[in-house]
Amino acid sequence: MSLRRLIDTLCLAIFWLAGLLLLIILLGILGYLIYRGHSAINLEFLLASPKGLPLGTEGGILPAIKGTLCLIMLAVSIAALPGLATAVYLAEYAHKNVISQIINTTVQCMAGLPSIVTGLFCYALFVVRMGFGISLLAGGLALGMMIFPVVVVTARDALLAVNKHYRIVGTSLGVSKSYILVRILLPQAAPGIIGGILLAMGYAAGATAPIMVTVAAIATPSTGDLFQPVMALPYHLYILFSQQVSLDKAYGTALVLVSLLLILNVIAMCLRHQKRREG
């Protein structure tokens, strides 16, 4: 066996081992959560409000589930359209100039910001400066700002992955660029764009720091009022663990949260796989 083939085989084995290690870690975390949290999962836990003294030792997590879903929907509503518009500009209209470089650099910097920094900035801007208070609106804006770069990057990559022949043929036939974008490119890139939005939703669902400082409450009905605080699964989980309220309920809450994230990620992966197979 030649030295080059030996190096290739060794690198391939390392890549497979790294992927297998990640899979084992994921299955280990999921298995441990199922082992510790399955006893807490029942209809009352999923459909009731937290009760007991201290709060959370009895009852369930329904307000936290409702609050998390409201936050996710609001954040996606805020970030999806601006993110898609930015991605379209970068993929189809931007040229290699100063403006496009500034936009790309800004998006990359936003993606690299720690979530607590985003949360503190949004607290100072939306909660204090603009007077929204600790509210669903402030939390949705904070999470929307946090997932904006995720939407931009995934949508841009989905558009760039569309076969360039569509653009060349359309242009040669005299079809306008906007028509090619709306009727051909966006439908072709739709699975990747939707998958990116679902990944962003999962990212928002698991963010604790921005939720903690802009929207979260220890106990509230989570009615969906934009100017009222809500309960959220990450913050509720933090309270259960940090205050040692109930470890069984904490593991049950963690299992529900991880299950939600896994569902969103699996759907996103299926959409991307479908797109690759069609391609």
DSSP structural state of residue 181 = I
| Best CA proximity match to 150, nearest among 233, 240, 211, 86 | 86
The residue count of the chain comes to 279
Rounded CA-CA distance 214/138 in Å is 6
Phi, psi angles (nearest 5°) of residue 122: -65, -35
Give the three-state DSSP class for 51.
Answer: strand
Same domain? For 250 and 119 the reply is: yes
Phi, psi angles (nearest 5°) of residue 51: -140, -175
- Chain centre distance of CA 216: 18
Same domain? For 48 and 34 the reply is: no
Rounded CA-CA distance 255/38 in Å is 8
Rounded CA-CA distance 125/103 in Å is 22
Rounded CA-CA distance 270/96 in Å is 33
Same domain? For 59 and 124 the reply is: yes
DSSP structural state of residue 226 = T
The two structure tokens encoding residue 238: 């933090």
| Best CA proximity match to 159, nearest among 189, 128, 183, 114 | 189
Predicted local distance difference test score (pLDDT) of residue 99: 84
Rounded CA-CA distance 198/268 in Å is 6
Same domain? For 75 and 164 the reply is: yes
Which stretches of the chain drop beneath a pLDDT of 50? none
Same domain? For 126 and 222 the reply is: yes
pLDDT (tens digit per residue) in 177-215: 888 898 889 988 888 898 889 889 989 988 888 999 999
Same domain? For 21 and 79 the reply is: no
pTM: 0.89
Rounded CA-CA distance 24/93 in Å is 43
Predicted local distance difference test score (pLDDT) of residue 220: 86
Predicted local distance difference test score (pLDDT) of residue 170: 84
Same domain? For 147 and 60 the reply is: yes
Predicted local distance difference test score (pLDDT) of residue 155: 93
Same domain? For 31 and 145 the reply is: no
**Number of structural domains in the chain:** 2
Q: What is the CATH number of the domain that holds 241?
A: 1.10.3720.10
Q: Give the structural domain span for 29.
A: 3-40
Give me the helices (H) in the chain, please.
3-37, 43-47, 62-88, 98-112, 115-122, 136-160, 164-172, 177-180, 186-205, 209-214, 233-242, 247-278
Question: How do 58-59 and 50-51 pair as beta strands?
Answer: antiparallel
Bond from prior residue into 221 cis (ω within 30 degrees of 0): no
Element (H, E) at 50: strand 50-51
